[in-house]
Structure 1
Amino acid sequence: MTSLSERGAILATWEYVSHNHRAVTVLPDGCRDVIVRRDLATGTQELIVSGLDAKRQTMVLPGGQHLAGLRLRPGVTIPASLMHELRRAIERPSCGAEPSLVGQAITTYAELNDDLMGAIVAGRTVVGAARLLGVAERTLHRRMRARTGRPPSFWLGLARARKALACLSADMTLSEIAAEIGYAD
């Protein structure tokens, strides 16, 4: 079994070209995306970091856009100073900065928060996670908020939903899945 730190900050890379104006639905999953958006007509680029949404979002994409994205693992944070420097580099017209350079910088400087995320998954409850870390529940709440921008309950719900999704492919009934991940039904 590999730990989160052995897997790194980047979960996946992706690209998308929007030829026509369209709306795209984005479902929340606890991952942030770092996106280099290039206007195909002008060549201008900008760096975008998606939020940690708690509900479905509809994004409107104008035509003529090339998006190159890096999907970050749940709980990964990027220092604000690094994002500022990356934005400056990407948005400079003469720079020619590539999304791969953004990926290298994130791989090097992102904060994985493995201790907190691992405790949330293993502890199965916020109280259980706090016990695993040897801290009070309130201390865990403050640390999670400070380091990930979300409270432990957000990450616990996400971990449970991901586990439920994984169980759906197993030969289990819905009531067995609910019991396995701690839901009443």
Structure 2
Amino acid sequence: MYREAPSAVIPEAVVWRRSAITGTRPSRILPDGCLDIIWSNDHLFVAGPDTTAQLSQGVAGQRYTGLRFAPGIGPAVLGLPASELTDRRVALADILPPALVDEAVGRIHDGADAGVVLEALAAARMRLGDGPDPLMRAVAARLREGDTVAGTALAVNLGERHLRRRALAAFGYGPKTLARILRLGRALDLARGGVPYAHVAATTGYTDQAHLSREVKALAGAPLGVVLG
């Protein structure tokens, strides 16, 4: 069972909760350009931005609570480039001061809601720094709307090589990869809404339905019908 709700504290973040159920197939976690801080099995860890889908088979009854940051936000919380966490799962105490992490764990053990604790931790961390890179937030917004990498670079007045360096730090991968991942998300949203695959491909900028199918297989690790099923 999975549910999520917008964070009341961190802009564009989502608090999500998942419980593993006996007999269910592994969850396919699709790449989305996001960083998550997750509470499970009495510890906190960070799930970095994925380049391909990850399969997660939880133990029956195991519960997860996570705080998912929109692309470009996580580095302002964790204090390190997203590229250091790409395709990785890292204990939060290996990134943030262990005393801070221990305090958060203690609050959860004392009965505080894990989602509320994660929001408070993230908000406190963001107040310590300069916040997310506003230029990279603009980049993410343009790519999410379907702009090209060249068009985005021109709009934010950055050369493509400079844009790539900034994007690696903010998102964990270059703008071309982020654009592919965000386009996949748009396509899957349309397909889940019942839009025919050929129209999905045309609407979201794929050359044709075969191109859409190849991208789904490359990024999601399975055919479109399996991903949607």
> Which is worse superposed, 164-173 or 29-38?
164-173
- Of 177, 196, 199, 1:176 maps to 199
User: Deviation at 1:93?
Assistant: 8.9
Q: Is contact 2:31–2:52 with CA below 8 Å preserved after alignment?
A: no
Report the Cα distance in structure 2 between the residues aligned to 1:92 and 1:177, rounded to whole angstroms: 47
| Structure in which a larger fraction of residues adopt helix | 2
1:136-155 equivalences in 2 (<5 Å)? 136-155=159-178
Q: Is contact 1:35–1:47 with CA below 8 Å preserved after alignment?
A: yes
Q: Is contact 2:146–2:179 with CA below 8 Å preserved after alignment?
A: no
Deviations 1:78-125 (A, max 9, x none): 433595144332345997464212112324527374222113234621
User: Deviation at 1:138?
Assistant: 0.8
| Structure in which a larger fraction of residues adopt strand | 1
Scaled by the length of structure 1, the TM-score of the pair is 0.72
User: Deviation at 1:148?
Assistant: 1.8
Aligned-residue Cα RMSD (Å) equals 3.4
What percentage of aligned pairs have identical amino acids? 23
SS of residue paired to 1:147: helix
> Which is worse superposed, 64-73 or 82-91?
82-91
Can you give the 5+ residue segments of structure 1 that lack an aligned partner in the other structure? Answer: 1-5, 39-44
Report the Cα distance in structure 1 between the residues aligned to 2:108 and 2:198, rounded to whole angstroms: 58
* Counterpart in the other structure of 2:153: 130
- Of 71, 84, 96, 2:96 maps to 84
Q: Is contact 1:119–1:133 with CA below 8 Å preserved after alignment?
A: no
SS of residue paired to 2:63: strand
* Counterpart in the other structure of 2:68: 71
Scaled by the length of structure 2, the TM-score of the pair is 0.60
1:14 aligns with 2:17: yes
User: Deviation at 1:147?
Assistant: 1.6
Report the Cα distance in structure 2 between the residues aligned to 1:123 and 1:19, rounded to whole angstroms: 37
Report the Cα distance in structure 1 between the residues aligned to 2:194 and 2:28, rounded to whole angstroms: 29
Can you give the 5+ residue segments of structure 2 that lack an aligned partner in the other structure? Answer: 1-8, 80-91, 209-229
